[in-house]
Amino acid sequence: MYGRIGEFRELWSEAVTSEEKNRALRKLVEWIVYNREAAQET
């Protein structure tokens, strides 16, 4: 999870437009949701 946050920070810092920042944020949310769903299955 911490690695994903690091990836998000990198994407966020490289983002120039609001659209790019929205994409980075959406990607982070997808990772969190996926991680939670995987944890619930076990």
Q: Domain boundaries in the chain?
A: 2-41
- Annotate 4-17 with b (16+ C-beta within 10 A) or e (fewer): eeeebeebeeeeee
What integer pLDDT is reported at residue 4 of this predicted model?
A: 81
Amino acid at site 6: G
What integer pLDDT is reported at residue 35 of this predicted model?
A: 83
Cα distance between residue 12 and residue 14, in whole Å = 5
**What pLDDT, in 10s, does the model give residues 1-42?**
678 888 899 999 999 999 999 999 999 999 888 888 888 876
What integer pLDDT is reported at residue 36 of this predicted model?
A: 82
